[in-house]
Amino acid sequence: MKHETCFKKSHPSAAVKRARNDSGNKVAVVLGAQWGDEGKGKVVDLLATESDVVCRCQGGNNAGHTVVVDEEEYDFHLLPSGIINTKCTSFIGNGVVIHLPGLFEEIDKNEKRGLKGWDKRLVISDRAHIVFDFHQAVDGLQEVQRQAQEGQNIGTTKKGIGPTYACKASRTGLRICDLMADFGEFSTRVKNLVLQYQSMYPALKVDVESELKKLKDYAERIRPLIRDGVYFMYDAIHGPPKKILVEGANAALLDIDFGTYPFVTSSNCTVGGVCTGLGIPPANIGEVYGVSKAYTTRVGIGAFPTEQLNAVGELLQTRGHEVGVTTGRKRRCALWFYVLDEIKVGVAYKINGKRVPYFPANMEVLQKVEVEYETFPGWKTDTSAVRKWSDLPPKAQNYIRFVENRIGVPIKWVGVGKSRECMIQMF
C-alpha cells in the first residue's frame, strides 16, 4: 500500500517527460531496393536541398552515386551526395568503412568539377573502420582463390570491403579513433594485422612502412573532421529541430543477411543498417524511401532470374548507359524500357511449377526458379520532358499504378532522366 501511494504521488522525471514528449528529430532514409545503381544519388540530392544533415551509414567506396547538377556530373563513392549542398553537414557514420586514399582521390576529382568548401561540411565518425590498401589486395586475392576453387568469383569491386568488415567482426580491425590516438600503437596493430594476412596469403606483398607514412599524413588532414560519432548523432536528433537524411549505399538484394548470399556485399544495406551504422534508435526512423529502376540491373556475379541475355538486355544496357560508376563494368540488365512493344513485370517465382511466396535463400534454387510475368503494352514515347503525372502516357501510368499496387507502397516520385529536374512528384 505504502509503495502504491508513493508511486501515485511521484512526478515523472525529466528523462521520462523527455521520452514522452520529445523523442527527437526523425530521420528520412533513402535505400536501394534492387541490386544497386537505382538512382539513389538523385533522390538524395533532391531531399538534401532541404536537409541539415546527410549521413552515410554503411558500405564504403564500393558505392558509386552520380548526381547531375547544371549539366555538371559529380561521382560520389564515400562522400554523402549531400556534400554538394552548401547548407548541409555531411556525416560518415560508424558503419561505413573508409579507404583514406580513395576518399582524397574522390575529393580531388570533385573539386575539379566545382565542389568547394567540403572541409567545412564533412564530419567523420571516430568509430568508422579503416580500409587499408592491403585489404584491397586481399579482396583481389580472395577473388582469385574463389575463381580457382569454385570456378567463379563474386565479382566484388575490389575496394577491400569484405576483408575490412571481416576484420571488424573478428575484432582485428582498426578504426579512425585508433588513427587519431597514439601512432606507435596504431602502427604495431597494423603490422600485426599484416602478419596475420601474410600467414593466410603468402603471396601478399605489403609495403607496410610506406602505407603507414601515407596514413600519418592523411590522419592530420582528416583530424579536424573527426567527431565522436555517437554523440554527433545524439545531438543531431535531440538538439534543435533538424532535417536529417540517410543515404543508403548498395542495396536490399546485396544486403549480407537479406540479399542473394554469397553474391552480396558485406554490410546491412536495408533499414537495420541505419540504426547500427549511425546509432539511431528505431523510433527516430521516419520516412523510408526505396529506390527502384523501371528495369533491373546487376553488376558482378549471382542469380538474376529476370536477366535478359538477349537483344532486349543489350538495348537496356546501351540506352540506359548501364556502366558501373565504381568499376566501369557493364551492368547486366533485366526488364524493361519504354521503347519496347510490351513490358513484362516479374510478379512471382515458381519452383517445380508451384508459386513460392518468399525469395529463396539458396543460390542454386534461385538460379532455377521460373519467373511468372504480367505483360503490359509499352508506351513507346520519350517521357524525359514530362514533369507532371497527368502528362505521362496512360500506358505508363497504368504500369506505374500496377507496380504500386503489387508492392503495396505508395510511389512518391517517378524519375524520367538523369538530372535534378527530371522528376515527377506524385504527392
CA angle, 180 then 185 then 187, to 5°:
85
Q: Judge contact between 124 and 176, C-beta under 8 A.
A: yes
Place of cell 575529393: 107
38 is in an annotated binding site: yes
Given Mg ion, ligand IMO, none, residue 154, with its beta carbon under 5 to 8 Å by kind, binds: ligand IMO
Residue closer to Mg ion by CB (options 37, 126) is: 37
Rounded CA gap, 303 and 322, in Å?
18
Q: Does 154 bind ligand IMO (CB under 6 A)?
A: yes
Task: Please tell me the count of residues contacting Mg ion according to CB under 5 A.
Answer: 3
User: In the bound complex, what is the minimum distance in angstroms from residue 215's beta carbon to Mg ion?
Assistant: 27
Place of cell 512471382: 348
Residue closer to Mg ion by CB (options 81, 308) is: 81
Rounded CA gap, 329 and 348, in Å?
29
Rounded CA gap, 67 and 46, in Å?
10
Distance of CA 145 to the CA centre of its chain: 27
Residue closer to ligand IMO by CB (options 88, 299) is: 299
40 is in an annotated binding site: yes
Chosen residue from 24, 273, 300, 313 binding ligand IMO by CB under 6 A = 300
Write the burial class of residue 3 (CB in 10 Å: 0-12 exposed, 13-18 middle, 19+ buried).
exposed
| Known catalytic residue at 216 | no
Beta strand pairing call for 27-32 and 244-247: parallel
Catalytic residue among 99, 129, 158, 168: 168
User: In the bound complex, what is the minimum distance in angstroms from residue 168's beta carbon to ligand IMO?
Assistant: 14
Q: Does 131 bind ligand IMO (CB under 6 A)?
A: no
Chosen residue from 254, 275, 291, 312 binding ligand IMO by CB under 6 A = 254
Count of C-beta atoms within a 10 Å radius of residue 22: 9
Given ligand IMO, Mg ion, none, residue 168, with its beta carbon under 5 to 8 Å by kind, binds: none
Residues of span 75-134 touching Mg ion by CB under 5 A: none
Q: Does 313 bind ligand IMO (CB under 6 A)?
A: no
Chosen residue from 27, 124, 161, 206 binding ligand IMO by CB under 6 A = 161
Which residue type occupies 2?
A: K
Residues contacting 126, CB < 8 A, separation 6+: 175, 176, 177, 180, 226, 227, 228, 229
Q: Does 37 bind Mg ion (CB under 5 A)?
A: yes
Instruction: Give the interface segment with ligand IMO, choosing from 17-25, 141-149, 261-269, 393-401 (CB under 6 A).
Output: 261-269
CA angle, 22 then 26 then 30, to 5°:
170
| Known catalytic residue at 65 | yes
306 is in an annotated binding site: no
| Known catalytic residue at 380 | no
User: In the bound complex, what is the minimum distance in angstroms from residue 298's beta carbon to ligand IMO?
Assistant: 7
At what angle are helices 183-200 and 133-150 packed, to 10 degrees?
10
CA angle, 317 then 303 then 326, to 5°:
50
Q: Does 64 bind Mg ion (CB under 5 A)?
A: yes
Rounded CA gap, 269 and 11, in Å?
42
Given ligand IMO, Mg ion, none, residue 129, with its beta carbon under 5 to 8 Å by kind, binds: none
If DSSP codes are grouped into helix, strand and coil, which group holds residue 85?
coil
Binding site for ligand IMO (CB under 6 A): 32, 35-37, 62-65, 154-157, 159, 161-162, 249-251, 254, 263, 265-266, 299-300
Binding site for Mg ion (CB under 5 A): 37, 64, 325
Catalytic residues: 37, 65, 168
Residue set of the binding site for IMP:
37-40, 62-65, 157, 171, 250, 265, 329
